[in-house]
Amino acid sequence: MPSPRVTRAANASSTNPNGRLEFMSLLTNRTSASEPATARHRPSDSPVHRKDSNSSSAPLQQQQLLPEEDCMKLNPSFLGIALRSLLAVDLWLSKKIGVCARDRSSWGSARPMMKLVEITGHGIPWIVGTLYCLYKSDSAAGREVILNLLFALLLDIVLVGIVKGIVKRRRPPHNRMDMFATFSVDKYSFPSGHATRAAMVSRFMLNHLVLAVPVRVLVMLWAVVVSLSRVMLGRHNVTDVAFGFFMGHMQYSLVDYFWLSPNTVAALFRMWSR
């Protein structure tokens, strides 16, 4: 049984001087007692939990984006696969055929001969030789053919330079930059200017010059050897030469469509003679 002193102390602590209960303190005590522990201390209100929730939500967003990116990488288009496969085969085949790219290559001893073939397909000797023939020509028919050939050579230089400037494909890594009379655009590889010129000039000569059968065979053989020498010297890839050969044939069709008439040739020749 508790002592009267302890009972009086408990009653005095629960009553005010007027003998009334402190309802505010009782209400506060009841509320704090009735609230659960999780409500009194919410982890979500703490800045540490907010920081953790933000950091955990970022990887979730990345995980939602990664499957779509992985699908794009793992499921490329058929055109992309075809182009990459063609590029891989092109690089491999170009390196295999480039047997004269260096002096220590398997056919390095034939490199000087291939460089001589390279000069025969260069634009400067052809333009200089055409101008000389135009100056020495004494017939209207000959001047007409030679002037159209000059127009074709100039058109070839312009079109090849434009395409090279647009594509900007670098030359093969095994190439040795010791070409004859190069320009700034010649650091690019696509398309092969020698291949376009060889195809265009050979077709021009076969259609507008009267040649014997052995000479016609030599002209066609020259065009093929010039184009092949570009890959053997390591100057170009196979696709550069193939597209250049096709482009040369198209250039001849363009020159044949815009063939300069005899009147135009006569007027231009009079201007040239003055």
Phi, psi for residue 208 in degrees, rounded to 5 = -125, 0
Contact 233, 98 (CB under 8 A): yes
Length of the chain: 274
231-235-241 Cα angle (round to 5):
50
> Would you please indicate which residues are annotated as catalytic (active-site) residues?
194, 236
What distance in Å separates the CA atoms of residue 61 and residue 53, rounded to the nearest whole number? Answer: 12
What distance in Å separates the CA atoms of residue 89 and residue 80, rounded to the nearest whole number? Answer: 14
What distance in Å separates the CA atoms of residue 45 and residue 63, rounded to the nearest whole number? Answer: 27
